[in-house]
Structure 1
Amino acid sequence: MKIFLLGGTKDSINIIKHIKENYNAHILTTTTTEYGAKLAREGGSDETIAKPLLKNEIMEILTKGHFDLLIDATHPFASHITQTSVSIKNELEMPYIRFERPTTNFENMDTSHIRYVNSFDEAGKLIKDEFHEGNVLHFAGANTMEDVLKYVPSERFYPRILKVESSLEKCEKLNVDPNHIIPMTGAATKEENLELIEKYGACVMITKESGEIGGVIEKIEAANEKDIAVIMIQRPKIDNLNKNDIVSNLDELDIKLNTFFKK
Protein backbone atom coordinates (compact mmCIF):
# COMPACT_ATOMS: atom_id res chain seq x y z
CA MET A 1 0.00 0.00 0.00
CA LYS A 2 1.47 3.37 -1.03
CA ILE A 3 0.02 6.28 0.91
CA PHE A 4 0.42 9.97 0.15
CA LEU A 5 -0.19 11.85 3.41
CA LEU A 6 -0.80 15.58 3.59
CA GLY A 7 0.55 16.23 7.07
CA GLY A 8 2.07 18.85 9.32
CA THR A 9 -0.15 18.20 12.35
CA LYS A 10 0.06 16.12 15.51
CA ASP A 11 -2.80 14.07 14.06
CA SER A 12 -0.68 13.20 11.04
CA ILE A 13 2.16 11.90 13.24
CA ASN A 14 -0.30 9.68 15.11
CA ILE A 15 -1.62 8.39 11.78
CA ILE A 16 1.89 7.58 10.52
CA LYS A 17 2.72 5.64 13.69
CA HIS A 18 -0.59 3.79 13.62
CA ILE A 19 -0.35 2.78 9.96
CA LYS A 20 3.29 1.68 10.20
CA GLU A 21 2.48 -0.46 13.25
CA ASN A 22 -0.61 -2.09 11.76
CA TYR A 23 -0.29 -2.15 7.97
CA ASN A 24 2.23 -3.01 5.32
CA ALA A 25 2.48 0.50 3.90
CA HIS A 26 4.92 2.94 2.36
CA ILE A 27 4.14 6.52 3.41
CA LEU A 28 5.19 9.76 1.74
CA THR A 29 4.34 12.72 3.98
CA THR A 30 4.26 16.31 2.80
CA THR A 31 4.57 19.27 5.16
CA THR A 32 5.18 22.96 4.62
CA THR A 33 8.23 23.11 6.90
CA GLU A 34 11.40 21.14 7.52
CA TYR A 35 10.42 20.95 11.19
CA GLY A 36 7.17 19.19 10.25
CA ALA A 37 9.06 16.83 7.94
CA LYS A 38 11.51 16.00 10.74
CA LEU A 39 8.63 15.04 13.05
CA ALA A 40 7.09 12.92 10.27
CA ARG A 41 10.37 11.05 9.75
CA GLU A 42 10.69 10.49 13.48
CA GLY A 43 7.13 9.14 13.44
CA GLY A 44 8.07 6.57 10.80
CA SER A 45 7.28 8.17 7.45
CA ASP A 46 9.33 6.53 4.69
CA GLU A 47 9.67 9.72 2.66
CA THR A 48 8.99 13.40 3.27
CA ILE A 49 8.64 16.57 1.23
CA ALA A 50 9.21 19.77 3.20
CA LYS A 51 7.68 22.54 1.11
CA PRO A 52 4.24 23.70 -0.04
CA LEU A 53 3.12 21.87 -3.17
CA LEU A 54 0.86 23.11 -5.94
CA LYS A 55 -2.08 21.00 -7.09
CA ASN A 56 -0.39 19.93 -10.31
CA GLU A 57 2.76 18.92 -8.39
CA ILE A 58 0.73 16.70 -6.05
CA MET A 59 -1.11 15.13 -8.96
CA GLU A 60 2.14 14.39 -10.76
CA ILE A 61 3.63 12.71 -7.69
CA LEU A 62 0.47 10.65 -7.15
CA THR A 63 0.30 9.40 -10.73
CA LYS A 64 4.01 8.86 -11.37
CA GLY A 65 4.49 7.26 -7.96
CA HIS A 66 1.45 4.98 -8.40
CA PHE A 67 0.03 5.86 -5.00
CA ASP A 68 -2.96 3.86 -3.74
CA LEU A 69 -4.44 6.31 -1.25
CA LEU A 70 -4.51 10.04 -0.49
CA ILE A 71 -4.96 11.02 3.17
CA ASP A 72 -5.47 14.66 4.11
CA ALA A 73 -4.53 15.15 7.77
CA THR A 74 -3.80 18.86 7.53
CA HIS A 75 -4.98 21.39 10.11
CA PRO A 76 -8.74 22.13 10.24
CA PHE A 77 -7.92 25.71 9.22
CA ALA A 78 -5.77 24.74 6.23
CA SER A 79 -8.90 25.00 4.11
CA HIS A 80 -7.08 25.73 0.86
CA ILE A 81 -5.12 22.47 0.86
CA THR A 82 -8.18 20.44 1.88
CA GLN A 83 -10.16 22.02 -0.95
CA THR A 84 -7.27 21.10 -3.26
CA SER A 85 -7.16 17.53 -1.97
CA VAL A 86 -10.90 17.09 -2.61
CA SER A 87 -10.42 18.36 -6.15
CA ILE A 88 -7.51 15.97 -6.74
CA LYS A 89 -9.49 13.04 -5.35
CA ASN A 90 -12.35 13.78 -7.74
CA GLU A 91 -10.14 14.29 -10.79
CA LEU A 92 -8.00 11.19 -10.24
CA GLU A 93 -10.91 9.13 -8.85
CA MET A 94 -8.63 7.71 -6.20
CA PRO A 95 -9.28 6.45 -2.67
CA TYR A 96 -9.32 9.40 -0.28
CA ILE A 97 -9.64 9.99 3.46
CA ARG A 98 -9.97 13.32 5.23
CA PHE A 99 -8.84 13.00 8.85
CA GLU A 100 -10.53 15.83 10.71
CA ARG A 101 -10.11 16.16 14.43
CA PRO A 102 -13.42 16.56 16.31
CA THR A 103 -14.59 20.00 17.30
CA THR A 104 -14.07 20.90 20.94
CA ASN A 105 -16.68 19.67 23.39
CA PHE A 106 -17.60 22.67 25.53
CA GLU A 107 -20.21 20.86 27.62
CA ASN A 108 -19.87 21.64 31.34
CA MET A 109 -17.47 24.49 30.56
CA ASP A 110 -17.86 28.20 31.22
CA THR A 111 -17.88 29.68 27.72
CA SER A 112 -18.94 33.18 28.74
CA HIS A 113 -15.50 34.63 27.89
CA ILE A 114 -15.55 33.35 24.29
CA ARG A 115 -16.28 35.71 21.39
CA TYR A 116 -16.79 33.85 18.11
CA VAL A 117 -15.68 35.31 14.77
CA ASN A 118 -15.27 33.86 11.29
CA SER A 119 -11.87 35.28 10.35
CA PHE A 120 -8.71 36.86 11.70
CA ASP A 121 -9.71 40.10 10.03
CA GLU A 122 -12.87 40.07 12.17
CA ALA A 123 -10.75 39.30 15.23
CA GLY A 124 -8.55 42.33 14.58
CA LYS A 125 -11.56 44.60 14.11
CA LEU A 126 -13.14 43.33 17.33
CA ILE A 127 -9.99 44.08 19.33
CA LYS A 128 -9.73 47.55 17.77
CA ASP A 129 -13.34 48.31 18.66
CA GLU A 130 -13.64 46.77 22.11
CA PHE A 131 -10.27 45.96 23.70
CA HIS A 132 -8.38 49.19 24.09
CA GLU A 133 -6.23 48.40 27.13
CA GLY A 134 -3.88 45.51 27.82
CA ASN A 135 -2.00 43.26 25.44
CA VAL A 136 -3.03 40.65 22.89
CA LEU A 137 -1.85 37.03 23.03
CA HIS A 138 -1.96 35.53 19.55
CA PHE A 139 -2.19 31.75 19.88
CA ALA A 140 -2.98 31.06 16.23
CA GLY A 141 0.29 30.72 14.35
CA ALA A 142 2.51 33.00 12.30
CA ASN A 143 0.52 32.77 9.08
CA THR A 144 -2.51 34.47 10.65
CA MET A 145 -0.79 37.49 12.21
CA GLU A 146 -1.04 39.92 9.31
CA ASP A 147 -4.83 40.26 9.30
CA VAL A 148 -4.86 41.01 13.04
CA LEU A 149 -2.01 43.51 12.82
CA LYS A 150 -3.97 45.60 10.34
CA TYR A 151 -5.98 46.73 13.37
CA VAL A 152 -3.85 45.99 16.45
CA PRO A 153 -0.65 47.98 17.21
CA SER A 154 2.42 45.75 17.18
CA GLU A 155 3.50 47.04 20.60
CA ARG A 156 0.42 45.31 22.08
CA PHE A 157 0.88 42.09 20.11
CA TYR A 158 2.49 38.92 21.53
CA PRO A 159 2.46 35.90 19.18
CA ARG A 160 3.17 32.35 20.33
CA ILE A 161 4.84 30.70 17.33
CA LEU A 162 7.33 28.07 16.28
CA LYS A 163 10.72 29.76 16.18
CA VAL A 164 11.51 28.57 12.66
CA GLU A 165 12.99 30.77 9.96
CA SER A 166 9.79 31.32 7.98
CA SER A 167 7.84 32.40 11.07
CA LEU A 168 10.58 34.70 12.31
CA GLU A 169 10.77 36.30 8.87
CA LYS A 170 7.02 36.99 9.00
CA CYS A 171 7.46 38.64 12.40
CA GLU A 172 10.26 40.82 11.08
CA LYS A 173 8.24 41.81 8.02
CA LEU A 174 5.29 42.79 10.23
CA ASN A 175 7.50 44.73 12.67
CA VAL A 176 6.76 42.41 15.59
CA ASP A 177 9.24 43.07 18.39
CA PRO A 178 11.53 40.00 18.75
CA ASN A 179 11.09 40.34 22.52
CA HIS A 180 7.35 39.82 22.06
CA ILE A 181 7.75 36.41 20.39
CA ILE A 182 6.73 33.52 22.64
CA PRO A 183 8.42 30.26 21.55
CA MET A 184 6.03 27.37 20.92
CA THR A 185 6.96 23.71 21.32
CA GLY A 186 3.49 22.18 21.57
CA ALA A 187 0.07 22.74 23.09
CA ALA A 188 0.41 24.71 26.33
CA THR A 189 -0.99 23.59 29.67
CA LYS A 190 -3.48 25.68 31.61
CA GLU A 191 -0.68 26.68 34.01
CA GLU A 192 1.56 27.81 31.15
CA ASN A 193 -1.28 29.88 29.71
CA LEU A 194 -1.92 31.46 33.11
CA GLU A 195 1.75 32.44 33.32
CA LEU A 196 1.68 34.01 29.85
CA ILE A 197 -1.47 36.02 30.59
CA GLU A 198 0.11 37.33 33.78
CA LYS A 199 3.57 37.93 32.33
CA TYR A 200 2.40 39.88 29.29
CA GLY A 201 -0.52 41.73 30.85
CA ALA A 202 -3.00 40.27 28.37
CA CYS A 203 -6.59 41.43 28.10
CA VAL A 204 -7.49 39.04 25.29
CA MET A 205 -6.20 35.95 23.51
CA ILE A 206 -6.83 34.86 19.94
CA THR A 207 -7.16 31.18 19.09
CA LYS A 208 -8.62 28.87 16.47
CA GLU A 209 -11.31 26.30 17.16
CA SER A 210 -8.71 23.65 16.48
CA GLY A 211 -10.00 20.90 18.77
CA GLU A 212 -8.87 19.53 22.09
CA ILE A 213 -5.58 18.30 20.62
CA GLY A 214 -4.76 21.97 19.92
CA GLY A 215 -5.06 22.91 23.60
CA VAL A 216 -8.25 24.97 23.24
CA ILE A 217 -9.72 23.85 26.57
CA GLU A 218 -6.57 24.80 28.47
CA LYS A 219 -6.67 28.27 26.88
CA ILE A 220 -10.30 28.82 27.85
CA GLU A 221 -9.76 27.59 31.41
CA ALA A 222 -6.84 29.99 31.85
CA ALA A 223 -8.80 32.89 30.34
CA ASN A 224 -11.74 32.18 32.64
CA GLU A 225 -9.49 32.17 35.69
CA LYS A 226 -7.83 35.46 34.71
CA ASP A 227 -11.11 36.99 33.50
CA ILE A 228 -9.89 37.83 30.00
CA ALA A 229 -11.62 37.36 26.65
CA VAL A 230 -11.00 34.58 24.14
CA ILE A 231 -11.59 35.48 20.51
CA MET A 232 -12.18 32.17 18.76
CA ILE A 233 -12.05 31.82 14.99
CA GLN A 234 -14.54 29.22 13.82
CA ARG A 235 -13.57 26.49 11.41
CA PRO A 236 -13.95 27.18 7.69
CA LYS A 237 -16.41 25.12 5.67
CA ILE A 238 -14.97 23.05 2.80
CA ASP A 239 -17.00 22.95 -0.39
CA ASN A 240 -17.63 19.53 -1.98
CA LEU A 241 -16.13 17.58 0.93
CA ASN A 242 -18.16 14.38 1.20
CA LYS A 243 -18.97 13.61 4.83
CA ASN A 244 -18.49 9.91 4.03
CA ASP A 245 -14.80 10.62 3.36
CA ILE A 246 -14.26 12.11 6.84
CA VAL A 247 -12.88 10.21 9.83
CA SER A 248 -12.18 11.69 13.26
CA ASN A 249 -10.18 9.02 15.08
CA LEU A 250 -7.94 6.04 14.44
CA ASP A 251 -10.75 3.49 14.83
CA GLU A 252 -12.72 5.20 12.08
CA LEU A 253 -9.52 5.37 10.02
CA ASP A 254 -9.12 1.60 10.32
CA ILE A 255 -12.66 1.02 9.06
CA LYS A 256 -11.92 3.17 6.01
CA LEU A 257 -8.55 1.56 5.36
CA ASN A 258 -10.12 -1.88 5.47
CA THR A 259 -12.68 -0.87 2.86
CA PHE A 260 -9.79 -0.05 0.49
CA PHE A 261 -7.20 -2.67 1.40
CA LYS A 262 -6.64 -5.94 3.19
CA LYS A 263 -4.23 -5.98 6.07
Structure 2
Amino acid sequence: MSESFPAVECTIETMDRTLYASREVGDLVDAGDYILNTALYYALGFTSGRYVNKGNRPSYIEDTSRIYSKLYITPARPEPAEEYTRRVWGFSRADVHVGGHSMGSWNARPHRYAVKNWSAQEDPSKGKNIPKFGRERVLDQQNLFTAYILLYEGDVGSLEIPRYIRLGKKRSKARVTTRIVKCEIGEGEFLSNHPFGIYDYEGVPIGDLISVRMRPVPLVIQARYKGRYVRIPDAGRGDVVLPYRLEFLKNRR
Protein backbone atom coordinates (compact mmCIF):
# COMPACT_ATOMS: atom_id res chain seq x y z
CA MET A 1 0.00 0.00 0.00
CA SER A 2 1.47 3.35 -1.05
CA GLU A 3 2.01 6.20 1.40
CA SER A 4 -0.21 9.24 1.20
CA PHE A 5 -0.79 12.54 2.97
CA PRO A 6 -3.24 15.44 2.51
CA ALA A 7 -2.68 18.61 0.55
CA VAL A 8 -4.69 21.72 -0.24
CA GLU A 9 -5.23 22.94 -3.78
CA CYS A 10 -5.45 26.75 -3.79
CA THR A 11 -7.06 28.51 -6.75
CA ILE A 12 -6.05 32.19 -6.82
CA GLU A 13 -8.01 34.68 -8.95
CA THR A 14 -6.64 38.20 -9.40
CA MET A 15 -9.28 40.88 -8.84
CA ASP A 16 -7.02 43.94 -9.32
CA ARG A 17 -4.14 44.88 -11.56
CA THR A 18 -1.25 43.10 -9.83
CA LEU A 19 2.35 44.29 -10.00
CA TYR A 20 5.51 42.60 -8.77
CA ALA A 21 9.04 42.87 -10.14
CA SER A 22 9.97 39.54 -11.72
CA ARG A 23 12.50 41.39 -13.86
CA GLU A 24 13.57 44.97 -14.50
CA VAL A 25 14.78 45.94 -17.97
CA GLY A 26 15.69 49.59 -18.34
CA ASP A 27 12.68 51.57 -17.12
CA LEU A 28 10.36 48.53 -17.43
CA VAL A 29 9.12 46.61 -14.39
CA ASP A 30 7.68 43.26 -15.50
CA ALA A 31 5.35 40.97 -13.56
CA GLY A 32 6.05 37.40 -14.62
CA ASP A 33 3.71 34.51 -15.34
CA TYR A 34 4.12 32.83 -11.94
CA ILE A 35 3.46 33.88 -8.35
CA LEU A 36 6.42 32.91 -6.19
CA ASN A 37 6.01 31.10 -2.91
CA THR A 38 8.16 33.81 -1.33
CA ALA A 39 4.97 35.88 -1.59
CA LEU A 40 2.41 33.16 -0.84
CA TYR A 41 3.82 32.23 2.59
CA TYR A 42 3.06 35.79 3.69
CA ALA A 43 -0.13 36.40 1.69
CA LEU A 44 -1.81 33.21 2.96
CA GLY A 45 -0.96 34.10 6.55
CA PHE A 46 1.51 31.34 7.42
CA THR A 47 4.20 33.83 8.41
CA SER A 48 4.72 37.57 8.72
CA GLY A 49 7.65 39.90 8.29
CA ARG A 50 8.65 43.46 8.97
CA TYR A 51 6.29 46.06 7.53
CA VAL A 52 9.29 48.16 6.45
CA ASN A 53 12.19 46.14 5.03
CA LYS A 54 15.18 48.23 6.04
CA GLY A 55 18.28 47.68 3.98
CA ASN A 56 16.34 45.83 1.26
CA ARG A 57 17.40 42.45 2.70
CA PRO A 58 14.66 39.80 2.74
CA SER A 59 14.22 37.75 5.91
CA TYR A 60 12.53 34.70 4.36
CA ILE A 61 14.65 32.16 6.23
CA GLU A 62 14.13 33.74 9.66
CA ASP A 63 10.40 34.33 9.08
CA THR A 64 9.72 30.70 8.10
CA SER A 65 12.06 28.96 10.55
CA ARG A 66 9.18 27.43 12.54
CA ILE A 67 7.09 26.12 9.67
CA TYR A 68 9.34 25.29 6.72
CA SER A 69 9.65 21.62 7.73
CA LYS A 70 5.93 21.22 8.54
CA LEU A 71 4.43 22.31 5.22
CA TYR A 72 5.43 23.48 1.77
CA ILE A 73 3.61 25.99 -0.41
CA THR A 74 4.37 25.67 -4.11
CA PRO A 75 4.62 28.66 -6.43
CA ALA A 76 1.38 29.32 -8.30
CA ARG A 77 1.19 28.47 -11.99
CA PRO A 78 -1.12 30.26 -14.48
CA GLU A 79 -4.17 28.50 -15.85
CA PRO A 80 -5.62 28.83 -19.39
CA ALA A 81 -8.90 30.59 -20.15
CA GLU A 82 -10.73 27.28 -20.47
CA GLU A 83 -9.76 26.34 -16.93
CA TYR A 84 -10.79 29.78 -15.66
CA THR A 85 -14.28 29.45 -17.10
CA ARG A 86 -14.63 25.92 -15.72
CA ARG A 87 -13.62 26.81 -12.17
CA VAL A 88 -15.10 30.31 -11.89
CA TRP A 89 -18.09 30.34 -14.24
CA GLY A 90 -19.01 26.67 -13.97
CA PHE A 91 -18.73 25.78 -17.67
CA SER A 92 -15.80 25.27 -20.01
CA ARG A 93 -15.10 27.73 -22.85
CA ALA A 94 -11.81 28.14 -24.67
CA ASP A 95 -12.86 30.99 -27.00
CA VAL A 96 -13.01 33.74 -24.37
CA HIS A 97 -10.37 36.28 -23.42
CA VAL A 98 -9.73 36.67 -19.71
CA GLY A 99 -6.68 37.68 -17.71
CA GLY A 100 -3.35 38.30 -19.37
CA HIS A 101 -1.05 41.28 -18.96
CA SER A 102 -1.39 44.98 -19.72
CA MET A 103 1.16 47.78 -20.09
CA GLY A 104 1.13 51.09 -18.30
CA SER A 105 3.40 53.97 -17.41
CA TRP A 106 3.91 56.12 -14.35
CA ASN A 107 5.47 59.50 -13.63
CA ALA A 108 5.98 60.48 -10.02
CA ARG A 109 6.39 64.06 -8.85
CA PRO A 110 7.29 65.26 -5.34
CA HIS A 111 4.34 66.22 -3.13
CA ARG A 112 5.08 69.93 -3.20
CA TYR A 113 3.14 72.80 -4.71
CA ALA A 114 6.08 74.13 -6.69
CA VAL A 115 8.82 71.86 -8.00
CA LYS A 116 12.07 73.26 -9.26
CA ASN A 117 13.42 71.72 -12.44
CA TRP A 118 17.08 71.15 -11.65
CA SER A 119 19.70 70.69 -14.30
CA ALA A 120 21.29 67.25 -14.47
CA GLN A 121 24.51 68.57 -12.93
CA GLU A 122 22.81 70.38 -10.01
CA ASP A 123 20.04 67.91 -9.14
CA PRO A 124 20.31 67.10 -5.38
CA SER A 125 19.26 63.49 -6.00
CA LYS A 126 21.73 62.79 -8.80
CA GLY A 127 23.62 59.56 -8.36
CA LYS A 128 20.77 58.02 -6.35
CA ASN A 129 18.62 55.20 -7.71
CA ILE A 130 15.30 56.98 -7.22
CA PRO A 131 13.28 56.48 -10.43
CA LYS A 132 10.63 59.09 -11.16
CA PHE A 133 9.11 57.62 -14.30
CA GLY A 134 8.89 54.28 -16.03
CA ARG A 135 6.73 51.57 -17.55
CA GLU A 136 5.09 48.57 -15.93
CA ARG A 137 3.73 45.29 -17.28
CA VAL A 138 1.18 43.99 -14.81
CA LEU A 139 -1.27 41.12 -14.40
CA ASP A 140 -4.83 42.09 -15.23
CA GLN A 141 -7.97 41.02 -13.44
CA GLN A 142 -9.35 37.51 -14.06
CA ASN A 143 -6.01 35.72 -14.09
CA LEU A 144 -6.24 32.29 -12.49
CA PHE A 145 -3.38 30.53 -10.70
CA THR A 146 -3.03 27.20 -8.91
CA ALA A 147 -0.78 26.49 -5.93
CA TYR A 148 -0.58 23.54 -3.56
CA ILE A 149 0.03 23.35 0.17
CA LEU A 150 1.77 20.07 1.00
CA LEU A 151 1.17 19.31 4.67
CA TYR A 152 3.88 17.12 6.21
CA GLU A 153 2.78 17.53 9.84
CA GLY A 154 -0.51 18.36 11.54
CA ASP A 155 -4.17 18.23 10.55
CA VAL A 156 -5.19 19.69 7.20
CA GLY A 157 -8.55 20.67 8.68
CA SER A 158 -6.83 23.02 11.11
CA LEU A 159 -5.38 25.21 8.36
CA GLU A 160 -6.99 28.65 8.24
CA ILE A 161 -6.67 29.92 4.68
CA PRO A 162 -8.14 33.37 4.03
CA ARG A 163 -10.85 33.84 1.42
CA TYR A 164 -9.19 37.02 0.11
CA ILE A 165 -5.52 37.96 0.11
CA ARG A 166 -3.27 40.84 -0.98
CA LEU A 167 -0.47 40.39 -3.51
CA GLY A 168 2.25 42.46 -5.11
CA LYS A 169 3.86 45.82 -4.52
CA LYS A 170 0.49 47.61 -4.42
CA ARG A 171 -1.26 44.97 -2.29
CA SER A 172 -3.74 44.04 -5.00
CA LYS A 173 -6.76 41.95 -4.08
CA ALA A 174 -7.09 38.27 -5.01
CA ARG A 175 -9.69 35.62 -4.21
CA VAL A 176 -8.71 32.16 -2.93
CA THR A 177 -10.78 28.99 -3.17
CA THR A 178 -9.54 25.69 -1.77
CA ARG A 179 -10.17 21.98 -1.86
CA ILE A 180 -8.47 19.13 -0.04
CA VAL A 181 -6.73 16.53 -2.19
CA LYS A 182 -4.73 13.40 -1.40
CA CYS A 183 -1.06 13.10 -2.35
CA GLU A 184 0.38 9.69 -3.13
CA ILE A 185 4.09 9.08 -2.54
CA GLY A 186 5.96 6.94 -5.05
CA GLU A 187 9.55 6.16 -5.93
CA GLY A 188 11.43 5.84 -9.21
CA GLU A 189 12.05 8.01 -12.23
CA PHE A 190 9.54 10.84 -12.58
CA LEU A 191 8.88 14.05 -14.51
CA SER A 192 8.06 17.00 -12.27
CA ASN A 193 5.45 19.22 -13.96
CA HIS A 194 4.56 21.92 -11.42
CA PRO A 195 6.87 24.84 -10.56
CA PHE A 196 8.97 24.87 -7.39
CA GLY A 197 11.86 27.02 -6.17
CA ILE A 198 15.31 26.05 -7.33
CA TYR A 199 16.57 26.14 -3.70
CA ASP A 200 13.67 24.03 -2.36
CA TYR A 201 15.02 20.61 -3.44
CA GLU A 202 18.48 19.08 -3.25
CA GLY A 203 18.02 16.57 -6.08
CA VAL A 204 19.89 16.93 -9.36
CA PRO A 205 17.80 16.68 -12.56
CA ILE A 206 18.76 14.00 -15.07
CA GLY A 207 17.06 15.65 -18.05
CA ASP A 208 14.09 17.52 -19.55
CA LEU A 209 14.89 20.63 -17.51
CA ILE A 210 12.88 23.82 -18.04
CA SER A 211 13.58 26.71 -15.69
CA VAL A 212 12.49 30.33 -15.46
CA ARG A 213 14.62 33.10 -14.04
CA MET A 214 12.59 35.19 -11.60
CA ARG A 215 13.45 37.47 -8.72
CA PRO A 216 14.26 36.71 -5.99
CA VAL A 217 14.15 32.94 -6.65
CA PRO A 218 14.39 31.12 -10.02
CA LEU A 219 11.84 28.38 -10.67
CA VAL A 220 12.07 24.82 -11.98
CA ILE A 221 9.04 24.42 -14.26
CA GLN A 222 9.79 20.90 -15.45
CA ALA A 223 12.56 18.38 -14.78
CA ARG A 224 13.17 14.65 -14.70
CA TYR A 225 14.51 13.12 -11.49
CA LYS A 226 15.10 9.78 -9.80
CA GLY A 227 13.88 9.33 -6.25
CA ARG A 228 10.73 9.79 -4.21
CA TYR A 229 7.93 11.91 -5.63
CA VAL A 230 4.42 13.15 -4.88
CA ARG A 231 1.51 12.57 -7.26
CA ILE A 232 -1.61 14.74 -6.91
CA PRO A 233 -4.65 13.57 -8.92
CA ASP A 234 -6.07 16.40 -11.03
CA ALA A 235 -9.65 15.87 -12.22
CA GLY A 236 -10.01 16.19 -15.98
CA ARG A 237 -6.31 16.80 -16.61
CA GLY A 238 -2.97 15.13 -16.09
CA ASP A 239 -1.79 14.46 -12.55
CA VAL A 240 0.51 16.94 -10.82
CA VAL A 241 3.91 15.44 -9.98
CA LEU A 242 6.44 17.03 -7.61
CA PRO A 243 9.58 15.84 -5.82
CA TYR A 244 9.30 14.65 -2.23
CA ARG A 245 10.19 16.30 0.11
CA LEU A 246 10.20 19.95 -0.88
CA GLU A 247 11.08 22.51 1.80
CA PHE A 248 11.14 26.28 1.42
CA LEU A 249 14.71 27.52 0.72
CA LYS A 250 16.04 24.16 1.91
CA ASN A 251 19.45 24.59 0.28
CA ARG A 252 19.94 28.05 1.83
CA ARG A 253 19.49 27.06 5.47
TM-score (norm 1): 0.22
Q: Which has the larger radius of gyration?
A: 2
Structure number with the higher strand fraction is 2
Higher relative contact order (CA 8 A, sep 6+): 2
Higher helix fraction (1 or 2):
1
